[in-house]
Amino acid sequence: MSAGQQTSMVSVFTAIVRRDVRLAWSQGGGSLLALGFFLIAVSLFPFGVGPAPQVLARIAPGVIWVVALMAAVISIDRLFQADFEDGSLDDLMLAPLGTFGMVTAKVLAHWLSTTLPLAIMAPALGVLMNLPDGAYATLIASLLIGTPALSLIGSVGAALTVAVRRGGVLMLLLILPLYVPTLIFGVGAVDAAVSLTDPLPHLALLGATTLIAAVVGLFASTAALKLAME
Amino acid sequence: MFDRLDFSFQAGDFVCLTGKNGSGKSTFLRFLAGFIHPEQGELAYRRADDMFSEIVPDDFLLSGHQNGLKPGMTLRENADFFVRLMTGTPASSSILENATEIFSMAALLDEPVQYFSSGQRHRAALMRFALVDRQIWLMDEPTVGLDADNRAALASLITGHTARGGIVVAATHDPLGVPGVTLDMDAFQPAGLALEEAWL
């Protein structure tokens, strides 16, 4: 491949990422909804379990991580569907970048536009949940390492259900069980920091989960999308 | 879906797909674009200058039933993204100007697509053929919602493309007035398969 062609592939890739990030934050995009859901769902817990600081501190890592998973899932079900409905998915798949590159660009755009803001907003919710002081760095680190897996695994479900009307719930059932390893290691890391032990082993395993999701998820989404477009 | 389908197109061909509703015109276009794989047989593309290999080139433009436009973005933004997606370079203003002139869309260039009428959306979708240079054009019902002037514009766009050695395959119910081959999809229905049982 010549250098000229390579540059053009990079700019096709960035064009898709920029467009998707823009659409996610524009009217009808999913990012604000996901962030709003994250904020409101976490803030319901102090009302539900009572404002006792020790109880909130105990459940804080789990609550923040579980709600972040949910927020990622509800925003990713439109990853391919919106483009499928207005016909632009055909164009995206016929682009010189190829389906694999296009899927990678869209997953990256979802992470940048939706799951990364969740990680950035998490410390504020940690305050709300009375998370101990020593755990904030680990909370942010665990979310930064773990959230790419949410976008990657979610994209497989989004690709499988792209042609299914009301496929959101089906996707939830397909995807949420696959989020369990990420959830276990993510919460484990924050819990370790709360109990003043070393969170590094948990973070390493969390990173391994994300890497596996990157290898398997992108290929699986590409294959599922090609199947769905037949 | 199809049976005994055997043909070849050459550079400069205009192929008009006709046939009843459900006879598989759209499916055939998606098959040509590589979305659908045949159970038996093969689809091959060969370049005249390439003696040794059969290649499937990224050489298509497809316009389908949906127009592929983002309602929240203006026509200019939609067109610019389309050109970037297909070529990796931003749309040059001369190409954009030329494309908008063909279907007289210049006044709508900075309007969000959500305010367009269905005919305007359709013309906006057809602009892609003037925006990006590809050899093979696949058009699904290109004349739907077009008035006489725009139909003539489309016909001259197609004539110009075939004259330059392009291939245009259009599924349509009404003739565009462009000379070419007509392929009747009804002839390729598998024996004994009723229309109601056809897929899609």
The 10s digit of each residue's pLDDT in A193-227 is: 988 899 999 999 999 999 999 999 999 999 999 98
Whether the CB of A23 is below 8 Å from some CB of chain B: the reply is: yes
| Substitution target from B26, B63, B70, B77 for chain A, most A beta carbons within 10 A | B70
B28 and B171 Cβ atoms separated by less than 8 Å: yes
Residue B168: beta bridge partners?
Answer: B14, B137
pLDDT at B145: 79
pLDDT classification of A71: cutoffs 50, 70, 90: very high
Distance CA A50, CA A46 (A): 5
Distance of CA A59 to the CA centre of its chain: 22
CA distance B188 to chain A (A): 20
**B18 vs A35, more confident:** A35
CA distance A94 to chain B (A): 7
Q: Which fold has domain B1-59+135-200?
A: Rossmann fold (3.40.50)
Interchain proximity A15–B58, CB inside 8 Å = no
Tell me the residues of chain B between 14 and 53 that have a Cβ less than 8 Å away from chain A. Answer: 33, 35-37
If one counts every other C-beta atom within 10 angstroms of the C-beta of residue A44, the result is 11
Whether the CB of B60 is below 8 Å from some CB of chain A: the reply is: yes
If one counts every other C-beta atom within 10 angstroms of the C-beta of residue A132, the result is 15
Q: Quick one: three-class SS letters along chain A?
A: CCHHHHHHHHHHHHHHHHHHHHHHHCCCCCHHHHHHHHHHHHHHHHHHHCCCHHHHHHHHHHHHHHHHHHHHHHHHCCCCHHHHHHCHHHHHHHCCCCHHHHHHHHHHHHHHHHHHHHHHHHHHHHHHCCCCHHHHHHHHHHHHHHHHHHHHHHHHHHHHCCCCCCCHHHHHHHHHHHHHHHHHHHHHHHHHHHCCCCCHHHHHHHHHHHHHHHHHHHHHHHHHHHHHCC
Element (H, E) at B118: helix B118-126
A with B: how many residue pairs have Cβ under 8 Å apart? 72
CA distance A156 to chain B (A): 19
| Substitution target from B27, B66, B67, B116 for chain A, most A beta carbons within 10 A | B66
Mean pLDDT score of chain B: 79
How is residue A141 written in tokens?
């680190």
| Substitution target from A1, A8, A91, A225 for chain B, most B beta carbons within 10 A | A91
Strands across the sheet with B60-63, in order?
B60-63, B136-140, B167-171, B14-18, B181-184
The 10s digit of each residue's pLDDT in B69-100 is: 888 888 999 998 998 888 888 888 888 888 88
- Given a cut of 80, is residue B186 above it in pLDDT? no
Whether the CB of B57 is below 8 Å from some CB of chain A: the reply is: no
Distance CA B127, CA B63 (A): 10
Interchain proximity B70–A85, CB inside 8 Å = no
Q: What is the pTM of this model?
A: 0.88
The complex scores an ipTM of 0.83
Q: If you search the block for the tokens 């207005």, which residue do you land on?
A: A86
What does the radius of gyration of chain A's CA atoms come to, in whole angstroms?
A: 18
Interchain proximity B86–A26, CB inside 8 Å = no
Whether the CB of B199 is below 8 Å from some CB of chain A: the reply is: no
Whether the CB of A12 is below 8 Å from some CB of chain B: the reply is: yes
Interchain proximity A88–B69, CB inside 8 Å = yes
Whether the CB of A50 is below 8 Å from some CB of chain B: the reply is: no
Taking CA atoms, what residue in A is nearest to B84? A12
How is residue B102 written in tokens?
């063909």
The 10s digit of each residue's pLDDT in A83-117 is: 998 889 988 988 888 899 999 999 999 999 999 99
pLDDT at A6: 52
Distance CA B110, CA B126 (A): 17
Nearest to A144 by CA among A108, A119, A125: A119
Q: If you search the block for the tokens 């009302």, which residue do you land on?
A: A47
pLDDT classification of B2: cutoffs 50, 70, 90: low
| Substitution target from A88, A226, A230 for chain B, most B beta carbons within 10 A | A88
Phi-psi region of A166 (alpha: psi -120 to 50; beta: other; left: phi over 0): left
Q: Quick one: three-class SS letters along B86-111?
A: HHCCCCCHHHHHHHHHHCCCHHHCCC
Taking CA atoms, what residue in A is nearest to B35? A230
**CB-CB neighbors (< 8 A) of B82 in chain A:** 91
A96 and B56 Cβ atoms separated by less than 8 Å: no
